[in-house]
Amino acid sequence: MSVSLPTRLTPPGRMTPFRAHRIWERNYLVYRRVWKVILTGFFEPVFYLFSIGIGIGELVPEVPGPGGVPIDYTAFVAPALMAASAMNGTVLETTFNIFFRLKFEKTYDGILTTPMSSRDIAIGEIGWALVRGALYSTAFFVVMVAMGLTVSWWSVLTIPGAVLIGFAFGSVGLAATTFMRSWQDFDLVSLVTMPLFLFSTTFYPLDVYPPAIQPLIRLSPLYHGNEMLRAFSLGIFDWTLAGHIAFLLVMGLIGAFVASRRLDGLLRK
């Protein structure tokens, strides 16, 4: 007796109702049993804040913040660490975890036997990564408030700002994952995220860098995230804020488009 294998019910290019929330439901059911794994991603930036922000903050005087306004060093570092938390959380979710589901668990092959499409998968996974990043950001914001590092009511905008950072990095992370062939390729993830963390004005202002390096720093997406969250945290706005937001939004949209197209091609093989 022959056994027929399940096939895709929805053609890849056909418009379908929004079903990405089914991915969120599936991931919620999985992670509610291993919720401690999610919490671990929150503590790393908090440790950095206590060790570097507070420790070095006792030795370093005020530094120039957005618009050249002098601010306390700990208040300068905290929003950047919040941005790094959003970056790390979404990149981790859209690279390691999705690669495992894609190459080993074959989770998405099973999902495509339902009316869901590869576009639904891409939107759903990016959206779930944003949920995870938002959890990190909200918890980090609470720590900032408790430490007195938010001097303006505008600082509440750092949470949606961190979600935007997560969208940019999560989309590109998912797109990058579709090009990876083995676990060794993940060395490149750290090779990218670590320099971004260290050299995107996370710990010192842009003026500290040599003039020849500053244009390269401005190309860093985390630089735009850091400057955006600092502006929100301190309630100091100027015309450059629109540029930071636009950079991250365009980056996220391009990454989401590439990820959707690449997933569709991989899953149809």
Residue 64, in any domain of the structure:
yes
Gap between the Cα atoms of 214 and 224, Å rounded: 13
For residue 172, the model assigns a pLDDT of 94
- pLDDT, residue 93, reads 81
Average pLDDT, the chain: 80
Does residue 15 lie within any of the structural domains? no
| Interval 173-185 mean pLDDT | 86
Q: Mean of the pLDDT values across residues 13-31?
A: 59
pLDDT in tens, 111-125: 777 777 777 888 888
- Pairwise CA distance, residues 121 & 104, whole Å: 17
Give the pLDDT band (50/70/90) at residue 29: low
Looking at the whole model, is its pTM more than 0.85?
no
> Is 94 a member of any domain?
yes
Residue 24 pLDDT greater than 80, yes or no: no
pLDDT in tens, 196-216: 998 999 988 888 899 999 999
Buried b (16+ CB within 10 A) or exposed e, 157-189: bbbebbbbbbbbbbbbbbbbbbebeeeeeeeeb
Number of folded domains in the chain? Answer: 1
- What is the pLDDT at residue 39? 60
- Is 75 a domain residue? yes
Residue 251 lies in a domain: yes
Cα distance between residue 12 and residue 247, in whole Å: 30
Which tops the pLDDT comparison, 146 or 159?
159
86 in Cβ contact with 165 (< 8 Å): yes
Does 242 fall in a domain? Answer: yes
The answer to whether position 24 is within a domain reads no
What pLDDT does 263 receive?
A: 83
pLDDT score, position 13: 43
14 vs 71, higher pLDDT: 71
In three-state secondary structure terms, 232 is helix
**pLDDT tier at 17, thresholds 50, 70, 90:** very low
pLDDT band with cut points at 50, 70 and 90 for residue 228 = very high
- pLDDT tens-place string over residues 83-107: 988 898 888 888 888 888 888 777 7
Tell me what pLDDT residue 217 has: 93
Structure tokens at 133: 């990043």
Asked, for residue 4, whether it belongs to a domain, the answer is no
Q: Hey, which residues does 63 pair with through a beta bridge?
A: 71
The residue segments making up the domain with residue 94 are 36-267
Structure tokens at 79: 């929003």
Report pLDDT for 10: 42
d(C-alpha 121, C-alpha 111), whole Å: 8
* Residue 157: predicted pLDDT: 92
Which of the two residues, 141 and 58, has the higher pLDDT score? 141
Q: How far apart are CA 200 and CA 202, in angstroms?
A: 5
